Amino acid sequence: MDAEGFKEGIPCPNCGSKQTVTFYFAEGFTELECESCYFQSDWKDAARLQQDLGDLLTSDATIKIPGNIRPLKA
């Protein structure tokens, strides 16, 4: 995903600074990043992705392997 970033002076919702960059994605959405406090508007999505990956890694689910596995011949 390529985006174009523009310094439009939109106030940061975290610290109020106008040192922000608005990224416009071809897919039709935007993201805001602050150069002062490093706020990123997509932090919730990124945190959820990391949490989901962590849930997968810490899962105690077992994988059952079928007993009729035949060797592959090359």
Model pLDDT for residues 9-46, shown as the tens digit of each residue: 999 999 999 999 999 988 888 899 999 998 988 877 66
Residues sharing a CB contact under 8 Å with residue 56, sequence separation 6 or more, in sequence order? none
* Edge-to-edge order in the sheet of strand 20-25: 3-6, 20-25, 30-34
| pTM higher than 0.75 | no
